[in-house]
Structure 1
Amino acid sequence: MKLSHFSLLIFLVFPSFAQAQTSGNPLFPGWYADPEGIIFGKTYWIYPTYSAKYKEQVFMDAFSSADLITWKKHERIIDTAAIKWAKKAMWAPSITQKDGKYYLFFGANDIQSDQEIGGIGVAVADRPEGPYKDHLGKPLIDKFYNKAQPIDQFVFKDKDNQYYLIYGGWSHCNIAKLNKDFTGFVPYTDGSTFKEITPEGYVEGPFMFIRNGKYYFMWSEGGWTGPDYSVAYAIADSPLGPFKRIGKILKQDPAMATGAGHHSIIHDAKKERYYIVYHRRPLGETDGNHRVTCMEEMHFDKDGLIIPVQLTKEGVKKNKL
């Protein structure tokens, strides 16, 4: 592509001006992981984990953007002062909007058994940026069902407006039907509440979306502190599966970054663009908590399979909703 004399001059004198048409990776400064990306109205939002030692991981920030390029930080939208039962390790937020309210699901305390206090909670606010208050005054899930650690929750809205909570660590994943006010669950017709949908290779970090009537189920594999953290997926005709693993679509690039995983998907339905929001570890970093939030555009082949995503420094192009 040829540059006009004026464009060439701008590029040479103001190189940052020319680069401002892409987001760059990471999207914003600071150690942030497990990002959930979503669109509310005409604004993109990202809700990440504040990546620090568990005893310091006691609050969450959020980020908003009108164009994917410039991000505004909303500090401490929720913290352990608002969630009395949460003492540490607040992480992996997932958010949805329902009946004019915003519901933020989160994990806290990293419980290792049914005897500990903690698990998955839900908070509510009138605005995307909060402030959020405890919806229940206690965890929504505080026990191990089907051996799934109650962490890494994702709230999924199906085509029939039924909301599900998909969650689980320790290589087990459950799906449960949320009731109308998100205070509990509705049993399935067989009487069960938590159905296991764990595919081969699943470790944690579930995410689900619908495309062309198919349910794409995605998750993270490997250890979150290691270089081989990655994202794989499956496709089914129902949110309950069965899900047969297809393959990895996001992994480390030794020339770019390591530990690329725990992602979410943003879908611009009008322009039919898909973005994968994820965290990765800068090259040379050895601290497990030193993770940054990044974004790439995600594409599909003619058969609807996800084309493996390449890690970039450029990120994504400007896109106003």
Structure 2
Amino acid sequence: MKKLASLLALISIASSCAQKKIANNNPVFPGWYADPEGIIFDDTYYIYPTFSAPYDKQVYLDAFSSPDLVEWTKHTSVLDTSAIKWAKRAMWAPSIIKKDNKYFLFFGANDIQSDDELGGIGVAVSDSPEGPFKDHLGKPLIDKFHNGAQPIDQFVFRDKGGSYYLYYGGWRHCNVAKLNDDFTGFIPFEDGTIFKEITPESYVEGPFMFIKDGKYYFMWSEGGWTGPDYSVAYAISDSPFGPFKRVDKILQQDPAIATGAGHHSVIHPKGSDDYYMVYHRRPLDETDQNSRETCIDKMYFDENGFITPVKITNEGVKANPLK
């Protein structure tokens, strides 16, 4: 009986540990990280976030990989300023895409405040999603304020027709530009312009796009990133260029869980009905503006294709292996 009691106790402890693990998957990895882009390459999930720290300490980007959204491996300094000679600080909001067996990582650097400063949006390239990445151009891809948009918060998007577009912009302006074949520059639109402004109502920064059922879901962050009102809203369009009429806010703080929930991305395993919101938020007991952590929660749609408000949780998501 004693052996049976001991065995049952061990089973109970193991079960309790398992339940605790399932119940505490947010944040998904330790450390202060923000602006996370989640993506799938082959049978692995990846997250590329901003290292959340004072600007002068933001001189590198880490990446994280997972087979199942629960167990994460850190890949330290996949890109840093030693590889990008023109970048000195404020490396922000990476966005990555695979093309021709190369991985192209778009990033912001230097937090430029005018056209007279060196910095903006750059491109790095690697043979592996885990780096190391090297400078693709030796200079910024975008280094000027076009249509009032600060060159930050870039998102690279492959359209269903095979074209690649870059959505970007801070300072409450958002542009889209069509990338050329080797990502060294842009192809003008039919009217001759390169940077087309598509700013929706209440846009602040952090654009993201995905396609579902033939519709373009365009998403962005609203409010101030240092405050509790940071949030995510979206629009739906028949075109990657809009018009983007704001539908609703679908990610925001929960005073019982965390504040400042925003600057997100979406992961969708191909062939599934699963959509995951990857975002950052600030713990309730933290007041420092850089105390931001990366989290994942499920995203759902109603019968009309509208996104229902995302419930932020401490539980996070359950394991979903891609293999």
TM-score range, shorter chain: over 0.9
Report 1:140-179 matches (<5 A).
140-179=141-180
Provide the residue aligned with 1:251 in structure 2. 252
Is the 1:219–1:262 contact (alpha carbons within 8 Å) kept by the matching residues of 2?
Answer: yes
Residue deviations 1:277-313, cap 9 Å, x none?
A: 0000000211100100000010000000001001100
**Residue 69 in structure 1 maps to residue 65 in structure 2:** no
Question: Aligned partners of 2:231, 2:9: CA distance in 1, in Å?
Answer: 40
Is the 2:158–2:164 contact (alpha carbons within 8 Å) kept by the matching residues of 1?
Answer: yes
Change (3 A) 1:136 1:320: same
Residue deviations 1:51-74, cap 9 Å, x none?
A: 000000000000000011100000
Residue deviations 1:24-76, cap 9 Å, x none?
A: 10000000000000000000000000000000000000000001110000000
Shift of 1:9: 6.9
Q: In the alignment, residue 75 of structure 2 is paired with which amino acid?
A: H
Structure 2: state its 5+ residue gaps.
none
Give TM-score, length-normalised by structure 2.
0.96
Provide the residue aligned with 1:114 in structure 2. 115
Shift of 1:15: 1.4
Give TM-score, length-normalised by structure 1.
0.96
Identity %: 70
Give secondary structure in 1 for the equivalent of 2:290.
coil
Give secondary structure in 2 for the equivalent of 1:140.
coil
Question: Aligned partners of 2:285, 2:61: CA distance in 1, in Å?
Answer: 26
Change (3 A) 1:206 1:8: farther
Question: Aligned partners of 1:162, 1:88: CA distance in 2, in Å?
Answer: 31
Residue deviations 1:161-209, cap 9 Å, x none?
A: 1000000000000000000000000000110000000000000000000
Question: Aligned partners of 2:265, 2:112: CA distance in 1, in Å?
Answer: 24
Q: In the alignment, residue 196 of structure 1 is paired with which amino acid?
A: E
Shift of 1:22: 6.0
Change (3 A) 1:155 1:148: same
Q: In the alignment, residue 264 of structure 1 is paired with which amino acid?
A: S
Structure 1: state its 5+ residue gaps.
none
Q: How many residues align?
A: 317
Provide the residue aligned with 1:15 in structure 2. 16
Residue deviations 1:226-255, cap 9 Å, x none?
A: 001000000000010000000100000000
Provide the residue aligned with 1:34 in structure 2. 35
Provide the residue aligned with 1:220 in structure 2. 221
Is the 1:301–1:307 contact (alpha carbons within 8 Å) kept by the matching residues of 2?
Answer: yes
More off after superposition, 55-64 vs 21-30: 21-30
Question: Aligned partners of 1:264, 1:225: CA distance in 2, in Å?
Answer: 19
Give secondary structure in 2 for the equivalent of 1:55.
helix
Q: In the alignment, residue 313 of structure 1 is paired with which amino acid?
A: N
**Residue 101 in structure 1 maps to residue 136 in structure 2:** no
Q: In the alignment, residue 211 of structure 1 is paired with which amino acid?
A: K
Is the 1:11–1:17 contact (alpha carbons within 8 Å) kept by the matching residues of 2?
Answer: no
Report 1:272-291 matches (<5 A).
272-291=273-292
Is the 1:10–1:18 contact (alpha carbons within 8 Å) kept by the matching residues of 2?
Answer: no
Is the 1:266–1:274 contact (alpha carbons within 8 Å) kept by the matching residues of 2?
Answer: yes
Question: Aligned partners of 1:149, 1:7: CA distance in 2, in Å?
Answer: 61
RMSD: 1.5
Give secondary structure in 2 for the equivalent of 1:309.
coil
Give secondary structure in 2 for the equivalent of 1:20.
helix
**Residue 310 in structure 1 maps to residue 311 in structure 2:** yes
Question: Aligned partners of 2:129, 2:110: CA distance in 1, in Å?
Answer: 24
Q: In the alignment, residue 149 of structure 2 is paired with which amino acid?
A: A
Give secondary structure in 2 for the equivalent of 1:16.
helix
Is the 2:22–2:315 contact (alpha carbons within 8 Å) kept by the matching residues of 1?
Answer: no
